[in-house]
Structure formats: C-alpha cells, structure tokens
A and B are shown apart, each in its own frame.
Chain A
Amino acid sequence: MKVYVCIKHVPNTAAKITLEGSTAYDESVKFVVNPYDEFAVEEGLKLADGDEVILVCVGKETAVSTMRSALAMGASRGLLVTVGEQFISSGVAAQAIVKAIQADGEPGIVLCGKQSVDSEGMQTHYRIAKGLGLPVVSEVAAMAIADGKATIERELEGGSREVISVALPVVIGCTKGLNEPRYPKLPDILKAKKKEIKQIPLSDLGIDAAGKTAVTNLESAPERGAAKMITGDAQSMANELVDLLINEAKVL
C-alpha cells in the first residue's frame, strides 16, 4: 500500500521560544519532527509492507533536516513544499499537501499527526481529506487494517474510546498510544542522507500563501513567578493551604 505521511518541522518542545518582533521567534533552536507525526511515520512504515512511504511537508527550506530524521526512521523519499512564512493557514497547508500528493501518486492511506505542537491547529488533516475526497478520522489511538477496511479506536474524554469502521483509502490523525516510534540507527541515518527530497515552491503549485487566518501577535505566556511557600508540619501546612485557597485565592 502506497503510504503518504504528512510531517511538520517544529521547534523541540523543550526549546525556549524567544520572541522577535510581533509574530516571529528566534529559530536558532533545535527543530524536530512534530511528535504526533512520529506516530504517523511509524504507522506508515508498518502498513507499507514493502511499498513506498512518502513524506510530505510544507515548510521553510530548513525543514529538510526534519525530513531527514523521518527518512532515517525508514521512509522512502520526501516532498517538501517550500514557503517563506512562519505561520501559514491550515487551509493553505492542506491545499499544498493535496496538490503535492495528487501530482505524485495514488495514496492507499494518508497519515498525519492529530495536531502540531507549534501552532496547534488540529484541522489540517480534515482539509486534506476534503481536498482528496477521502474520509478522515482523528485522535486515532489504535488501528487495525483488514480486507480494505480500517477498524479504528478514537480517544474521547475520560478515557472512553469510539470504535470506528472506515474503508480505505482514508486520512488518519494519529495520537499517542498508536505505536512506539522507532529510533533510527546510525546506518539508517547515513542512508537517509542519500534519499530524495523533492522541493516544490508553493507558487509552483499555483497556491496563494495568504489564507483566511492570520497571526497578528505573539506574546510570551504570563509566568506566575515564584510560589508563596508554605512550610511546617504536614497538617499545619494542609490547614494553611486550605485557608489560603478559601480566603485569598477564593477558589473553594
């Protein structure tokens, strides 16, 4: 089955985000494959069964490094739609991915992460599905494929799960629990350096980078600062805390 896996180039979640101007940040931090997309890559490698696993990414040219990491996991080759902007609308990213896939081949399945950890959009895969005319299921924590059908478990609140049946081809939004992404070994990392990454400028696809959403400002989340510390023996600390929560914080 020909597998397409959409991946995003995002700052490592442990990286400090230093803002520059109103909507930019210092990009000299470590970038990684979006953590949810790693589940998608792993699932793709399991499902491909010898067929190609093709990575699709929309990002700046620097995203090549992230694509190499996913190629080192075992993906076959990559398509990188290059953009100049930091944040592009989900609608624009989806259009680019749809056109890139359509020009490349017929997907047996399209795997994505359920959200990115930078802009946290949670919807690109729905738009990809619409563009490709395929069904979509997100927050997928378990999946089994048999007879051209996927049986899926989707995570709901409180640990409950929806069991969903859907015919292939389908677009999937992967979440934690689906699998354990593999760590590439050194020979795989070396091999990945020779794998093809085809760069396609967004404008070559006839897509306008301006979408219907625009980030107008970024600011650091307010920090609470150091805690008011409570010390002493356990019971007196507990009593003092409850008093503070009732009288000072007024949350009880």
Chain B
Amino acid sequence: MGNIGILIDVQDGQVKETNYGVVTAAASGAGEKIALVVSDNAVDCKDALQKYGVTKVVHVTADTPVDSDPEAQGKAIAEAIKNFDITTLVGLSTAKGKDQMARAAAELDAPAILDVMALDINAKTVTKSHFSGKTYASIGLTGDVVVIGIRMNAVEAIEAGGDATAESFQASVGGAGRVTITEIKKVESKTVDLTEAKIIITGGRSLESADNFAILRECAEVVGAAVGASRAAVDSGYAPHAMQVGQTGKTVSPNLYIGCGISGALQHFAGMKTSKVIVGINIDKDAPIFSNCDYGVLGDLFEVVPALTKAFKEKLG
C-alpha cells in the first residue's frame, strides 16, 4: 500500500492558498499524505499544510539547482516518488504544476491526467473536461504510480487538523541542466490573478477601448475580483492575451463570473463554464449568454457596471 504525494506549487518562495484544496482532495486517501516542496531554499509551510491533513512535509532539492531548471524539478519529483513509496501524486494545474507533473510522469512512464475537475483518490478515477468543456469525461488511471493534476479552485479546502513531520530529500538528477530559466518577466498588476480569483469580471468587444476597461477594474477592486476579457476584446487590442478567458485563453472556475458585453460564444464558455454562478450583462435580450447563465441583466454595461460598483460598495462595504 503506497502513499499519496501532494506536489506543492511554490511561487516566489511562497505557498499560495490554492494549494490547500489539493491537500483536501488527497486527505481522504489511504497512506501518508506527503507534501513535496520542490525548491532550492526551504519554504516555511508546515503549519499551514498540516492544518489541511498533510502528514509529512518533504523539502525536495537536487544535486544541482532546481529553481532555474525545470528538467531537474521533474526528475527530483520522480526520485521523491520512488523514495517515499508514492503511488498517487496530486498537484495543482498551474503553468508550473502542469509542467512539473508532465515531466515527472514522462520520467516514470506513469499515466497522468491534468486539469481534472473532480477525483476519487482511492479509486484513481477523475472527471475532466473534453471538447473545451462541452463534455465531461470519466477517466480511470492504472499503473504503479499515477499523476493527477487538479484544476485551481475545483476542490474547496477544508481544515482537517493534525500534525506533520518534516524532512528533506536530495535527489540525484544527473544529466539535467539542458533547460535553463534565465529570467522571469513579471507583469506588475494590481489586480488579482485570473486563475486564482474567486470572482471574475470580464469585458468583451463592446467595451470599445482599452481605457474603458477601467470601469470594470473599478468594480473589481471593490470585491477583490480579477478582470478578464473575451478574445474579441483581446484581438481588438483592448486587453492583453493574458487576460483572455476561453478556449484559447485561460480556463477559470471562480465562485462568481460576471460577463459584461460578452455574447457568450462556445469558445468563451469553454473557459468559464465551470464557474459556480454566471452573470451576463448584455444589451441584447437574445444574446446567447442569457440562455446559459444564472442571472441575466438586460442593459447597457456602461450604465450597469458603474451602478453595480455602487451597489457593491453600499451592500458589502
């Protein structure tokens, strides 16, 4: 009987809250719940992780620097899987998490399913979007080691209490050093990151300019929301591609999604249909978004959004 490995997504030496849902997803599984924290420097996260059910925190390093070497990360994770008798590895489907899990899975020739919406940790079955969210596939994984990447916010974190031990593990990854991260170009943004956000407000082509996105940002600030855009808005140059939600942009699952002047194309829905509650604000009563969302506000976004900002301030402030 093996253990469950939980790959912790470390960003700038920090463990973000989104990791805790992954711990909760693993907590009901059999065996030890071993958090793998892959980083050159130790990360202070034991107290936070044990609260959600981690039983052992392992600081994973290698005989070569790992932070700047994605191949070394993948190999170090594969070594840790073997060393700690891990039979199921779960992790967060961020850009970094997906990369690390795919590398480790390829290294071990282990099956992997990434970006799952739900899972049964003991049965090794998952539910995942197929065809850009049009269908949900149930998939079973078999093998000595299986890898499961969980979509951000898909599993809600629940505190489980408990104590964890801590240790470190140095992997030997000989032969790495082929892929080197030389720089990280940070985009300084005051707004919340889309994929992590609990509330998202997006604008479409109808915003008519980049400047007009300010009305969405003002509204977003009041409720701590992230601002996104449709592809039509991105292609028109009103917003950077990093803000695009949809099949060729980001996939998001916030608690609340508010689409402003967004028609509701299939490819847009591909990126946000698993949101808990979807609101459409549109001037056209026949807009497709109204036939597939929870609340529809029929009106001009240039009037409704500022009114919404005011209402948020009054009722939540």
Contact = CB atoms under 8 A, between A and B. Distances in A.
Looking at chain B's contact residues, is the secondary structure mostly helix, strand, loop, or mixed? mixed
A217 B138 contact: yes
Given A227-B294, A230-B298, A212 B111 contact: yes
Interface string B84-117: 0000000000111011001101110111111100
B280 A221 contact: no
Nearest to B101: A123
A117 B129 CA distance: 10
B182 A157 contact: no
A212 B240 CA distance: 39
B307 interface: yes
B186 A160 contact: yes
Contacts of B105: 123, 126-127
Given A89-B111, A252-B223, A159 B132 contact: no
B131 to A, nearest CB: 5
Contacts of A249: 256, 276-277, 294-295
Interface stretch (B27-35, B38-46, B208-216, B241-249): B241-249
Given A214-B140, A221-B273, A234 B187 contact: no
B282 to A, nearest CB: 10
A19 B135 contact: yes
Contact of A235 (B113, B146, B294, B311): B311
Contacts of B186: 160
Chain A interface main SS type: mixed
A234 B304 contact: yes
B267 A218 contact: no
B13 interface: no
Interface string B279-312: 1100001000111111111111001101110111
A224 B304 contact: no
Contacts of A52: none
Contacts of B316: 242, 246, 252
A252 B194 CA distance: 18
B276 A229 contact: no
Contact of B132 (A13, A25, A217): A13
A218 B294 contact: no
Given A228-B296, A242-B312, A213 B111 contact: yes
A165 B125 CA distance: 37
A104 interface: no
Interface stretch (A1-9, A65-73, A132-140): A132-140
Interface string B134-156: 11111111110010000000000
B184 interface: yes
A84 interface: no
B254 to A, nearest CB: 9
Interface of B: 70-71, 94-96, 98-99, 102-103, 105-107, 109-115, 125, 128-143, 146, 178-187, 189, 193-196, 199, 223, 240-243, 247-249, 255-256, 266-267, 270, 273, 276-280, 285, 289-300, 303-304, 306-308, 310-312, 315-316
Given A160-B185, A164-B181, A224-B278, 9 more contacts: A35-B248, A165-B180, A212-B111, A213-B113, A215-B139, A220-B134, A221-B135, A223-B292, A251-B277
27 contacts: A13-B132, A87-B137, A89-B111, A120-B128, A120-B132, A121-B113, A135-B179, A156-B96, A160-B186, A165-B182, A212-B110, A212-B143, A213-B113, A213-B142, A218-B138, A221-B129, A227-B292, A227-B294, A228-B296, A230-B295, A230-B296, A238-B297, A243-B315, A246-B316, A249-B256, A249-B294, A251-B276
